[in-house]
Amino acid sequence: MTNIGLLEITTPSDREIAMRRVFDASARLVFDAWTKPELIKRWLGVRAGWTMEVCEVDLKVGGKYRFVWRSPDMTMGMGGAYREIVPPVRLVSTEKFDEAWYDGEALDTIELVERDGKTTVTTTVRYVSREVRDAVIKSGAASGVAESYDKLAELLPSLT
């Protein structure tokens, strides 16, 4: 079953937030898009009005990455270090926003599974504690709780 384009958001444990999405491309291309600066710059966080001003990637275990986005009236930066690099199936890195309002670094795990030319990407962000995850969620800036977003989504149309 491949639902290209359908984004699933779940909370697999009380410290984590996960997203799953199928892309119509090989794992190799998706992995490249996630790890090569010239490609990252083209899609990650560059919504209307924003550009990626800094995109540095030292793709080796222990190597650092640094991203800075700019809009006409503000900048936002984040960075971390790579912990595991297994192209094109797995990438683990730490993550910290410059203006993090929460404790500690988060751990990002990206897993790619290719089947029939399509690639399912699961990204999981693990925070240091449930309290931190919930604080992030409440900030509205970065992510979700509740067992299944889809169940909530079903409720929404009838409320508007």
Partner 1 sequence: MRPDPLDATFAALADPTRRAILARLASGEASVTELAKPFAMSQPAISKHLKVLERAGLISGGREAQRRPRRIEGEALAVATGWLERYREVWEGNFQRLDTLLEELKANEAKRGDKKRKGDKK
**Which residues of the shown chain bind partner 1 in the complex (CB under 8 A)?**
5, 7, 9, 19, 21, 23-25, 29-30, 32-33, 39, 42-47, 134, 137-140, 142-147, 149, 151-152, 154-156, 158-160
C-alpha span between 17 and 15 (Å, rounded): 7
Q: Which is nearer to partner 1, 1 or 151 (CB)?
A: 151
Whose tokens are 């912990």? That residue is 83
CB of 47 to partner 1, least distance (A): 5
Q: Which is nearer to partner 1, 50 or 83 (CB)?
A: 50
| Structural tokens at position 116 | 């029939």
CB of 7 to partner 1, least distance (A): 6
Q: Which is nearer to partner 1, 6 or 61 (CB)?
A: 6
C-alpha span between 57 and 40 (Å, rounded): 10
CB of 86 to partner 1, least distance (A): 20
Q: Which is nearer to partner 1, 39 or 89 (CB)?
A: 39
Classify each residue of 83-116 as buried b or exposed e, where b means 16 or more C-beta atoms within 10 Å of its C-beta.
eeeeebeebbbbbebeebebeebbbbbbbbebee
C-alpha torsion sign, points 54, 8, 99, 86: negative
CB of 104 to partner 1, least distance (A): 20
Q: Which is nearer to partner 1, 4 or 61 (CB)?
A: 4
Instruction: List beta partners, residue 67.
Output: 55, 78
